[in-house]
């Protein structure tokens, strides 16, 4: 995806919020234009259509993660397990900080109808998995990680666990240990708890150590 302007980014963020709140089909281009304080022609000029606007949101949100993993892969200063830990923290912060996008992703992936956006999501996920896999396989070849590792299931565990904690926040918020915390402290506490859990889980799977 090419670099986008501040105006395009503003439109993307408004559209992302409306698609999450009202659904893709429940949101019109007119709704987006009014919320973003632009005319409909500008949206058409920048993105072409509502479908293309949604595709642009997906590409924008996933592009930075692809770059992050590419940089991890070629970083020779980090140990393989530290790369995995960095990836865990990256996706915890990203997914919990982009909850509107996660809502859209869930809806589109469960869409039973053939959808260019759904196909794009799976294509980008396959690309991301392809980038992640060498982090594990290179360490396996070096004898650092065990050979018997299902990388697809490993990454599914990462994304699935973070994804499930997002709606669980309301339930966890009522636990006595969290009830009196302000919202920012609660979220940081939850991120830390999730980070510790996932790192222990991944270390056990990758090295059979706790």
- Nearest residue to 34 (alpha-carbon basis) of 50, 15, 56: 15
Q: Mind listing the pLDDT tens digit for each residue in 135-167?
A: 999 999 999 999 889 988 998 999 999 999 988
pTM of the predicted structure, to 2 decimals: 0.85
Q: Residue 207 belongs to what H/E stretch?
A: helix 183-207
Question: Distance between CA 37 and CA 72 in Å, rounded?
Answer: 39
| SS3 state at 180 | coil
Q: Mind listing the pLDDT tens digit for each residue in 66-121?
A: 889 999 989 999 999 999 999 999 999 999 999 999 888 888 887 767 667 788 88
Q: How high is the pLDDT of residue 210?
A: 45
Question: Distance between CA 83 and CA 103 in Å, rounded?
Answer: 27
Question: Distance between CA 98 and CA 209 in Å, rounded?
Answer: 32
């Amino acid at each position: 995806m090419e670099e986008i302007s501040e105006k395009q980014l503003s439109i993307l963020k408004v559209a992302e919020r409306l698609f999450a709140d009202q659904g893709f089909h429940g949101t019109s281009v007119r709704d987006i234009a009014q919320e973003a304080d632009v005319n409909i022609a500008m949206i058409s000029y920048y993105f072409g259509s509502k479908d293309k606007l949604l595709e642009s949101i997906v590409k924008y949100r996933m592009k930075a993660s692809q770059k992050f993993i590419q940089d991890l892969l070629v970083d020779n200063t980090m140990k393989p397990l530290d790369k995995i830990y960095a990836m865990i923290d990256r996706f915890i912060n990203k997914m919990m900080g982009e909850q509107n996008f996660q809502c859209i992703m869930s809806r589109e992936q469960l869409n039973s109808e053939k959808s260019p956006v759904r196909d794009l999501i799976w294509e980008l996920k396959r690309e991301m998995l392809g980038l992640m896999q060498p982090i594990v396989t290179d360490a396996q070849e070096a004898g650092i990680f065990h050979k018997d590792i299902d990388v697809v299931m490993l990454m599914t565990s990462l994304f699935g666990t973070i994804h499930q904690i997002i709606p669980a926040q309301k339930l966890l918020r009522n636990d006595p240990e969290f009830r009196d915390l302000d919202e920012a402290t609660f979220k940081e506490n939850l991120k830390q708890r999730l980070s510790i859990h996932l790192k222990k889980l991944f270390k056990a799977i990758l090295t059979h150590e706790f």
